[in-house]
Structure 1
Amino acid sequence: MRKSRADEFMEFAAGRTGHLFRSACLLTSGDTHLAEDLVQETLGRMYALWGRMARIDNPSAYAQTVLVRTYLTQRRRRSSGERPLAELPESTSGRGDDPALRVALLDALARLAPKDRAVVVLRYWEDRSVEETAAAMNVSSAAVRTRSTRALARLREQLGGDLSELAAAV
């Protein structure tokens, strides 16, 4: 018996939601509520395109691209009612070995520009190539390399010796 499109999408969504959520958490510097919204928006857009997915070679990679572009679009038109916090709230997820390291890394990521953060997440969290990252962000490969170099330098500057001290404590 052939699966309906809705069943196929539900199977796809169930398999990709966790991965998309983890990426969204990194993009949003640990804001789980915004990450959930990004994943919902991404899955909604994917569902709208699901009938035409036969033309897309890798739906998982396409979903990741939709997630990053949705994040960048939301960052550009962020509501004036939103107020960034000076410090990250305490994490209640219970995941991870060292909360201090997690908070330090998320705080450092939060200080990066949205496009720089997207490059770091795609290149080093998602382990994508320069070309794949460029395609996901709709920029040139040179722009990805430049942003990557500058973002990593900024992260090193922000974390300095703190990162080695935090990592040693783990």
Structure 2
Amino acid sequence: MADTTDDGYQAFAAARIGHLYRSACLLTGGDTHLAEDLVQETLGRIFVRWRRVSGADNPVAYAQTMLAHTFLSWRRRRSSGERPSATPPEAGIAEDGDPALRVTLLSALRQLPERDRAVLVLRYWEDRSVQETATALRLSAGAVRSHALRALTRLRAELGDDASLFIDR
């Protein structure tokens, strides 16, 4: 018989798994298999710390931060022999919208350095403030602004005329 701690974790995981997966897809530049691995590892780490996480002020933000840390540590390890493919993933991030635009954006995101990509996902996809993003990534607020500016500039250059569809300033 499962205790109430497990029930709380299961409800949390069921409610957040889709959003974590979409964030992971953006972090990985559309690599859906790696995104699934990152979400699984993140949820495993949350389960181990569930009592502490469930008592936190914002368990959702904790989960997103842990996902970003998991992604960055995976990229630092470089132990993975997997390589991203030039072909688009078999499944998109969202069910609606223009698939060609999603593929274009994912391709442009894939060209960014991992830290810049993590800043963009937390800052604009997760709609976090500069300070929240800085805390999550263990950076200064100025470094977050610098990474975001550099990443947005590169995205605009990469997307060309399509940039106005994604980046409105």
TM over 0.5: yes
CA distance in 2, matches of 1:64, 1:57: 14
CA distance in 1, matches of 2:66, 2:41: 9
Q: How big is the shift at 1:79? A: 2.6
Question: Is 2:126 aligned against 1:126?
Answer: yes
- TM-score, length-normalised on structure 2? 0.89
Match of 2:49 in 1: 49
Distance 1:113-1:104 versus aligned 2 partners, 3 A rule: same
Rate the CA distance shift 1:56–1:94 in 2: closer, same or farther, 3 A: closer
Of stretches 84-93 and 14-23 in structure 1, the one that deviates more from structure 2 is 84-93
CA contact (8 A) 1:123 1:133 kept: yes
TM-score, L = length of structure 1: 0.88
- Name the SS for the 1:79 alignment partner: coil
Determine if contact 1:5/1:51 at 8 Å carries over to the other structure: yes
Query: What are the residue-to-residue correspondences of 1:151-170 with 2, within 5 Å?
Result: 151-164=151-164
Q: Which residue number in structure 1 is paired with residue 136 of structure 2? A: 136
CA distance in structure 1 between the aligned counterparts of 2:37 and 2:9, rounded to whole angstroms: 18
Which ranges of 4 or more aligned residues in structure 1 deviate by more than 3 Å?
89-94
Q: 5 Å matches for 1:27-106?
A: 27-53=27-53, 55-79=55-79, 81-91=81-91, 95-106=95-106
* Per-residue Cα deviation, 1:46-84 (whole angstroms, up to 9, x for no partner): 111112235521111000000000000001113352223
Q: Secondary structure at the match of 1:34?
A: helix
Structure 1's unaligned 5+ residue stretches are none
In structure 1, what is the Cα distance between the partners aligned to 2:155 and 2:92? 25
- What percent identity do the matched residue pairs reach? 62
Tell me the amino acid that sits aligned with residue 45 of structure 2: R
